[in-house]
Homo-oligomer: A and B are copies of this chain.
Amino acid sequence: MTHDPAGDAIKALITRNNTKILLIVMDGVGGMRTGQFPQTELESARTPNLDKWARRASLGRAIPAARGVTVGSGPGHLSLFGYNPLLPEHEIGRGVLEAAGIDYRLPPNGVAARGNFATLDKDGNITDRRAGRIPTPEAKPVLEKMQKAVAEPIEGVTVKVMPVKEYRFALVFEGEGIGADLYDTDPQKTGVPSLDPKAKIDTPENAKMVRVATQAIKQMRAAIADEPKANGFNLRGFAKDPGLETFESRFGLRSAAIATYPLYRGVASLCGMDVVKTGDTIASEFETLKQIWNDYDFFFLHIKKTDAMGEDGNRDGKIRIIEEADKAMIALDELKPDVLIITGDHSTPPPMKSHSFHPVPFLLASELCDIDAGTRFTETECDKGTFGTFPSWEIMQLALAHAGRLMKFGS
């Protein structure tokens, strides 16, 4: 469903009905089988509910962007939502993602950047690029000082300072005639000062943005110069809203997002999903799902901690989270989604302690699915699946098809 003739032909087939489609994303769920651990976390976990669904499902392996490419959470989720993340028109800048993650939707004349507090020495050189990972409550008064320092518009451009989490914040510029093609001010190392804002492309809009950002940085730095830890900051990912086609226009689905972490709510929101309030636990997310079940056609439910455990190299922890998620899935017996999809936005194998490029286990259960030879939601069983290995951005086509929401092509 890209901006190509073949994609347009598919889009013309979409129809609506009363089916419900549930996409459960276990972040970074995929693992890798190694000599030391021949069984992955999914294989080692006790998962009676996942097993039950796998036995009546079609399985496969999903590639988020391209074979061998490791994705971040932004592109990983865009792909799950049916937007090929490698296409330029689907690029979401870091700043926009950060703002969207705190439920701030950038206006068309806005430019957002992600801010990271940093600690500077007396010469202005960076000693810590994360300002000792100061906790959120400690960051708050510093951000307030910064906001006061840019209370007045600069060249007609309003500057908004917004807390995100710990040492991270969002900086939003709103005003006419500003561009977003700027380099990061983060030098990506310590012992040197932050870089000055600089345009990637020479245009009057980018030049104005450079002047405004330079002046804003000067005023905000002066206001926090006496802070013990957060006495400096770097800006990354200047960007405008990409104006993605909404999920409803793209797929004819009224959609809701249930996620505990800002970034995932942000991506969902940029695709036009309704972002629903929910609690901090997996159980509370499924509780929320039950409450809104009658109000939407499509539900995205995000489980964060599988990825966090993988990044920590915590194999046992990841197994525990998988088992916790499995327990919560008992709710599905009651909800009976017409199409249930369980997968991840990418793999995060504990041995690598990072996102990886390994294709992600994929499960789709529906009355219309071809029940294949794979019997568990694991790497080994998904390798046997009838879907084979395929791009994640085609998942939505499969979702629609198995929901009876795609008409026949040609006669």
Contact = CB atoms under 8 A, between A and B. Distances in A.
Contact of A67 (B33, B73, B92, B390): B390
Interface string A63-86: 001111111111110000000111
Contacts of A386: 61, 358-359, 379, 383, 389
Nearest to A5: B88
A352 interface: yes
A207 interface: no
Given A6-B87, A386-B61, A389-B388, A408 B67 contact: no
Interface of A: 5-6, 9-10, 13, 31-35, 38, 56, 61, 65-76, 84-88, 92, 94, 97, 237, 349, 352, 354-359, 368-373, 379-380, 383-390, 394, 397-402, 406-411
A405 B227 CA distance: 40
A372 B33 contact: yes
Given A61-B386, A373-B383, 13 more contacts: A6-B86, A10-B69, A10-B86, A31-B370, A33-B371, A66-B394, A66-B397, A68-B402, A69-B401, A69-B409, A71-B408, A76-B410, A357-B406
A398 B69 contact: no
Nearest to A263: B411
Contacts of A402: 68
A395 B411 CA distance: 21
Nearest to A407: B70
Nearest to A40: B370
A388 B384 CA distance: 10
A61 B388 contact: yes
Given A10-B66, A357-B401, A389-B388, A383 B372 contact: yes
Contact of A409 (B5, B9, B70, B358): B70
A401 to B, nearest CB: 3
A355 B384 CA distance: 25
Contacts of A390: 67, 389
Contacts of A6: 66, 84, 86-87
A115 to B, nearest CB: 14
Contacts of A34: 371
A378 to B, nearest CB: 11
Number of this chain's copies in the complex: 2
Nearest to A408: B70
Given A32-B370, A408-B72, A397 B87 contact: no
A208 B142 CA distance: 74
Nearest to A349: B370
A10 B411 CA distance: 30
Contact of A383 (B13, B84, B384, B401): B384
A87 to B, nearest CB: 6
B389 A75 contact: no
Contacts of A85: 409-410
A94 B66 CA distance: 32
Given A32-B370, A368-B352, A371-B34, A72 B410 contact: yes
A109 to B, nearest CB: 25
B368 A356 contact: yes
A237 to B, nearest CB: 8
Contact of A68 (B70, B352, B359, B406): B406
A355 B297 CA distance: 25
A14 to B, nearest CB: 11
Nearest to A73: B411
15 contacts: A10-B69, A13-B69, A32-B370, A38-B371, A67-B398, A68-B400, A69-B401, A75-B410, A76-B410, A85-B409, A94-B411, A358-B370, A359-B386, A372-B383, A383-B385
